Homo-oligomer: A and B are copies of this chain.
Amino acid sequence: MPDPGPTNRSAPVDVPVHHLIRDRWSPRAFLPDPVDGEDLARLFEAARWAPSSGNSQPWRYLVTYRGEPAHQRLLATLNEGNRRWAGAAPVLVASYAQVTFPAKGDRPARPNPTALHDLGMANALLAIQATALGLHVHFMSGFDQEAVNAAFPPPPDVQPVAVFTVGHGGDPQDLPEDLAARETAPRARHRREAVVVVDGWS
C-alpha cells in the first residue's frame, strides 16, 4: 500500500513516520454508511495479535450496531458531549480490560497491572488496521463506567476502559458549528523532547 500523500488531517510530523500512523485521527463526523462485516472482522483480528504480558491477552470487545437496542443502550452511557456526534457512526464498541490473571491450578487469580496498557496496544493496532481500510475509529473515555456495567453485566474482573466509534469519516460541515471548529482545528502534541529523556530525569 503506497503512501497516498498527506491529507489536511495528517499529523504535522517532525520526522517522517509511516502513513498509517500519520493519517490516523479521530473524527466526530461520520457517514451513515455501514461498515463491511469482513472489514470489521479485520479490525478485531488486528487487535488479537497485539503483544501482552505473559500473552495474557486481556482485551475484550462488545460490539453494537446502529439501529439495534444494544447500540441505544451503549450510546446512552456516553457523556453528553460525545452523545452529540457518536450516534451517527454505524458501529459503537465498548473495549474492556480483564484486570486479573485468571486462576491457574492451585494459583489464585491475581491483579494484572498492565491490563489497561495491553488493551491500549490492541486498540491502537485496531485503529491502524481501520486506517488501512479507509475507516476511522474515535476512542472515548467520556462515558459512565457503572452505567455500561448495568446495561451489559460483564464477566468478573472485566472493566470497560474505552468506548469507540467505527465508520467512514464524514463532512465536518455536517456537524454543529462548535464541533466542526474542533474537527478542523490544527492537530497538536507536546514536543518530542518534552516526553522523551535520555539516561535520566532532570
> In the complex, what's the smallest C-beta–C-beta distance from A104 to chain B, in angstroms?
15
A-side binding surface: helix, strand, loop or mixed? Answer: mixed
Q: List B contacts of A50 (CB < 8 A).
A: 124
Q: B121, A14: Cβ atoms under 8 Å?
A: no
Chain B positions within 8 Å of A53 at CB level: 141-142
CA distance in complex: A119, B123 (Å): 11
Q: Tell me the minimal C-beta distance from A113 to chain B in angstroms.
A: 7
A positions within 8 Å CB-CB of B = 1-3, 11, 13-18, 20-22, 24-26, 38, 41-42, 44-51, 53-55, 57, 59-65, 68-70, 97, 113-114, 116-125, 127-129, 132, 139, 141-142, 152-155, 161-162, 187-190, 192, 195-201
